[in-house]
Structure 1
């Protein structure tokens, strides 16, 4: 007997139609979620991502000379860099200086060239002011007569490097390196190193602050997680209240407390613990105290959120099986809190890498962190290229430390209870 095929009634939904409807509804829901998040994405793009991208791009941009002296730039790019250029190059230099001075860009060009050689600004400005109004028969002897440095190959090689864009000069300068006249990359002597020492100092201070926060914050987080809820909520206020106070106010308070005539030194001397004020400010001690106080709540909250999810049953079970309370704590309780420890330590370490106000107010001359050097380049030196290069290295170091932390404790797999 033949098997009768079951006919589908006209107009009844099929399995394919149901799947298509489900996919359509899911796409609609995804689009609605994207539209709801679109204002936040636009805000982050315009106020966070775009400015950072532009700053990092400054680390390789070199537009001052090319934009102000385009003809001279093209000739310098074609020049092989050997010896002193010919008469044509000197004529283009004179025309470029006259054009830049007339357009008001001579100061920008001089500042850029001064980054390569401290005397270059005075050389350029003096030459631009003393250019003859009437073109001489030959520009080369005329410019050399104005300043003998125009007859040295080193001056022209620096000018050629300043006309190249993109350039690695800022990235090299950010690690105390430079291109030698022979074209090789060489580091400056250790006693003249500024930025490498600052990076090492920044990492060292950040690691020390992270360790201090861990030592001080872990017991506090354990106490908050194991006290009765009413008492824990009261004590939690002391952890949260610093977030309601300005960072500048908190740092200034430590400035008052730690100074030679401050509260702490007055108390120590009145108790007879010291005969003269302790050096607690304008040094590494003041920086560590101030940064630890500011960043400690972040680590406490990160560890506390994990400790609240650890059941006390495990500790009681271990002790009932004969384990000493300390052994049970170290082998049962602590491993379960490592995700919070890893997340808190990474958060504190990354925040400490970019700290500026606290080291600037409480630190001394040997405690400058890389953020202070970036601020100096942008506000005082107006060297946005070097500031962008320092920022680029700071971003790279942060990414490296993230992968290291992630490899050790698995930050991307953390779960908070």
Structure 2
């Protein structure tokens, strides 16, 4: 009779079962991953629509400006052969083409768009283009094709200068770094060299915004740290009651909170009236529409963002550490500084990061209470988006602000990471 090795057959069956179990396990894992991905998909779509797409659009708009190229394509094609570094204006053929296109723009009521774009590179040229457009609108296109140059110069002598044609050729580039150069208070000269502008505006605004944001962060930390410590060590009833007052600003409209500061800080407001009643001052102090008003109002609005992270960390610190240090002979203040405060660093750093990032991008409160003196870079970005319609410059300013925040966050992450390693 044939002999069968039962042990070998049993191992083969176990091996087959093991392979089948592994395949089943992988199938179950894939199904779980698909289910998890399905749950995460709405969040990913929301992040794409509300965060990544707007930032990508902003970065693209900061270097993409096809307006001039779409308005006067023939003129820009003719200008491509002109040496802009020379002292001679383009020849009459270029001016003739421009006269014909300017006439059509005036008929289509688009000459104002061209004037707006050229005026950004050469202030004062807007009126020249608009006035010339109105004049060319009445001309015969056949006449402009042959005598356009002389008619342009006769209408406005500025068409004889080289600078306006340099700016027009420069503005005709579809992709350009001019918005970033303007945002950094730089410009290109006739030799295509990057040089500083005569008036430094935006760099000062960035520095001013950083100073205001850092001041607000410091004030919220100084006010929020002792209050958070008291909330963490107080009885539950007292802590809950005080927490209601901490959260109260979240239940009040931002516009209401800001306008209340207007009532407090204005010349005949509550603060000046009280100080005059107490004979502290003899005449009202100008507090509204200043940098001081921006700092005070935003400190009040952003204070909960510092208190809540600090409170959550302090609530988890075991008070026995401090008692043990004092029982071993340490004095209260040194023990608090050397033992308790290092353990609050995560809450303090998280609160500082929240307050700083929110404050540097705030524009509603500075616009209402800060006036000209208390405005930040975010207000200028909003101005270029809403009033001047210079979306390219607004996008460049916003991109640089984003880069600045990311740089500061990287520095923060490095510093907090090093401090956590030392504490560990």
Give the TM-score of the pair, scaled to structure 1: 0.92
User: Is the Cα–Cα contact under 8 Å of residues 213 and 296 in structure 1 kept in the other structure?
Assistant: yes
Distance 2:16 2:109 in 1: 75
**Does 2:33 align with 1:30?**
yes
Deviation at 1:12, TM superposition (A): 7.5
User: Helix, strand or coil for the counterpart of 2:187?
Assistant: strand
Distance 2:222 2:264 in 1: 23
User: Is the Cα–Cα contact under 8 Å of residues 176 and 195 in structure 1 kept in the other structure?
Assistant: yes
Distance 2:270 2:395 in 1: 41
**Does 2:265 align with 1:258?**
yes
Q: In the alignment, which residue of structure 2 is the partner of 1:211?
A: 218
Range with bigger deviation, 77-86 or 357-366? 77-86
Of 372, 382, 386 in structure 2, the residue corresponding to residue 365 of structure 1 is 372
Q: In the alignment, which residue of structure 2 is the partner of 1:234?
A: 241
Q: In the alignment, which residue of structure 1 is the partner of 2:116?
A: 111
User: Is the Cα–Cα contact under 8 Å of residues 343 and 411 in structure 1 kept in the other structure?
Assistant: no
Q: In the alignment, which residue of structure 2 is the partner of 1:142?
A: 151
User: Is the Cα–Cα contact under 8 Å of residues 291 and 375 in structure 2 kept in the other structure?
Assistant: no
**Does 2:136 align with 1:127?**
no
Distance 1:72 1:412 in 2: 61
Map 1:300-319; keep pairs closer than 5 Å.
Answer: 300-319=307-326
Distance 1:41 1:162 in 2: 38
Distance 1:270 1:142 in 2: 71
Q: CA RMSD in A?
A: 2.4
User: Is the Cα–Cα contact under 8 Å of residues 77 and 163 in structure 1 kept in the other structure?
Assistant: no
Q: In the alignment, which residue of structure 2 is the partner of 1:288?
A: 295
User: Helix, strand or coil for the counterpart of 1:365?
Assistant: coil
Range with bigger deviation, 31-40 or 63-72? 31-40
Distance 2:82 2:25 in 1: 66
Distance 2:218 2:25 in 1: 52
User: Helix, strand or coil for the counterpart of 1:135?
Assistant: helix
User: Is the Cα–Cα contact under 8 Å of residues 199 and 370 in structure 1 kept in the other structure?
Assistant: yes
Change (3 A) 1:152 1:40: same
After superposition, what is the alpha-carbon deviation per residue over 1:343-367, rounded to whole angstroms, capped at 9, x for unaligned?
Answer: 1111101111011122122224222
Distance 1:324 1:251 in 2: 43
User: Is the Cα–Cα contact under 8 Å of residues 154 and 181 in structure 1 kept in the other structure?
Assistant: no
After superposition, what is the alpha-carbon deviation per residue over 1:105-163, rounded to whole angstroms, capped at 9, x for unaligned?
Answer: 32222211111112222222222222231433343333222222222221111001110
User: Is the Cα–Cα contact under 8 Å of residues 363 and 376 in structure 2 kept in the other structure?
Assistant: yes
**Does 2:184 align with 1:179?**
no
User: Helix, strand or coil for the counterpart of 2:142?
Assistant: coil
Deviation at 1:90, TM superposition (A): 1.9
Deviation at 1:47, TM superposition (A): 3.4
**Does 2:162 align with 1:159?**
no
After superposition, what is the alpha-carbon deviation per residue over 1:28-84, rounded to whole angstroms, capped at 9, x for unaligned?
Answer: 222222222323332332233323322332211111111122222333344332332
Deviation at 1:166, TM superposition (A): 0.7
Unpaired runs of 5+ residues, structure 1, are none
After superposition, what is the alpha-carbon deviation per residue over 1:323-353, rounded to whole angstroms, capped at 9, x for unaligned?
Answer: 1111111111100110111111111011110
Distance 1:18 1:75 in 2: 74
Distance 2:125 2:341 in 1: 61
Change (3 A) 1:278 1:121: closer
Unpaired runs of 5+ residues, structure 2, are none
User: Helix, strand or coil for the counterpart of 2:289?
Assistant: coil
Of 65, 85, 88 in structure 1, the residue corresponding to residue 93 of structure 2 is 88
Deviation at 1:260, TM superposition (A): 2.4
Q: In the alignment, which residue of structure 1 is the partner of 2:55?
A: 52
Of 335, 355, 364 in structure 1, the residue corresponding to residue 342 of structure 2 is 335
Change (3 A) 1:97 1:9: same
Distance 2:99 2:18 in 1: 80
Change (3 A) 1:369 1:317: same
Change (3 A) 1:46 1:4: closer
**Does 2:75 align with 1:65?**
no
Deviation at 1:4, TM superposition (A): 5.4
**Does 2:105 align with 1:100?**
yes
User: Is the Cα–Cα contact under 8 Å of residues 209 and 360 in structure 2 kept in the other structure?
Assistant: yes
